[in-house]
Structure 1
Amino acid sequence: MNMVQVMFYLMAAIALGSALYVAASKNLVRSVFMFFITLFALAGLYVLSLADFVAVTQVVVYVGGILVLILFAFMLSGRESLAGLQQRQNHILSVHNLPAFLLATLFLVVLVNIILMAKVDNLPWLKQAAEQRNIIQPTDGTIQNLGINLMTNYLLPFEAISILLLMALVGAAHLSRKEEAL
């Protein structure tokens, strides 16, 4: 087993473990911070898959944006609503959760079946790519091509999205502002 495989299994274990903790924890603060670890482990998996741009986007958008938004929503919410969430009884094994468990088990069976039936080494498109030497190498630069396309061919949609995100930020700041009593 080489170092890349060890790192992959380590990152996968961290991602799965922290995601399970997020789903099972009753403490909201710990869940948010474990979600932070989950997102960073996913970014590490993207780096190991030679998807450097997706890894950087994962860190910037999800860790830097979405998680900060969750933290602000958590901090701006009232104590009463947070206390009500933490006092709620969570019975994992109950009749109400039976359809969710059945559906999750069905998805797990289908996923395991697909993984066991797929012969990844004999896929025709992988053989064709290997024969044509159409394989991404660790030294290939994919971010440069994406940057050139974003600033030339896709400049208008890129700027439209930036204006939309600015409007969302202004709206969130307005909604979080305390109203003065009349």
Structure 2
Amino acid sequence: MTMVKALFYLLGFMTLASALFVAASKNLVRSVFMFFVTLLSLAGLYVLALADFVAITQVVIYVGGILVLMLFAFMLSGKETLSNIQQQNSRFISVSHLPVLLLAVLFFIVLINILFKADINNLQWTNKAASYKLDVRPDSQMTSNIGTNLMTTYLLPFEAISILLMMALVGAAHLSRKEKKA
């Protein structure tokens, strides 16, 4: 087994195990910190797939932004709300969860079926991309191409999204401030 394959299996296991822990844990603090592990290991999988821009975006936006937002929401929420959330007594397998569990099992069966029937080494779309020389190589300059396109062709949508995010940040700061009692 090569080092890349071993690293892929390790990162894949870390991603799946931490995501399952996030979904199954009743402790919100542990769930948020395991979500951090999930997002970082997913970024590692992106690096292994030679998608460096997506990996950097994953770390900056999700780990740096969304996770911090979740931590602030957790810290700003009252003790009563947190205790009510943690005291909810729900079992993992119950009649109310049966449709969701059935859908998840069916989805898992479809994934396993596709995994065993697919010839990974001879996929039509990868062979076609390789024949047109469209496959991603480690020496590709993809990140610089994305940056050039963002600052030339797609500058207006990029700036519109930045203004929208700034408005969301101002709105979140306004909503989180405490009201003075009269």
TM-score, length basis structure 1: 0.96
- Report the residue type matching 2:35 in the other structure: F
1:65 aligns to 2:27 (yes or no) = no
CA distance, structure 1, for counterparts of residue 80 and residue 66 of structure 2: 24
Q: Tell me if 1:179 matches 2:179.
A: yes
Distance in 1, Cα, partners of 2:4 & 2:122: 22
* Partners of 2:126 and 2:135 within 8 A in 1: no
Q: For structure 1, which runs of at least 5 residues remain unmatched after alignment?
A: none
Instruction: Give the residue type in structure 1 aligned to 2:5.
Output: Q
Aligned-partner Cα distance in 1 for 2:136–2:69: 35
Alignment of 1:163-178 (within 5 A): 163-178=163-178
Q: Tell me the C-alpha RMSD between the 2 structures.
A: 1.1
Mapped to 2, the partners of 1:16 and 1:90 lie a distance apart of 23
| Structure 2: stretches of 5+ with no match in the other structure | none
Task: Give the superposition deviation at 1:121.
Answer: 2.1
Q: Is the 8 A contact 2:19 2:35 kept in 1?
A: yes
In the alignment, the residues of structure 2 paired with residue 166 and residue 125 of structure 1 have an alpha-carbon distance, to the nearest angstrom, of 40
Q: How many residues align?
A: 182
Number of the residue aligned with 1:15: 15
Does 1:41 pair with 2:41? yes
Amino acid aligned to 2:79: R
User: Hey, what does 1:162 align to over in structure 2?
Assistant: 162
Amino acid in structure 2 at the alignment position of 1:53: F
In 1: Cα distance, 2:28 partner to 2:178 partner: 24
1:139 to partner: Cα distance: 1.8
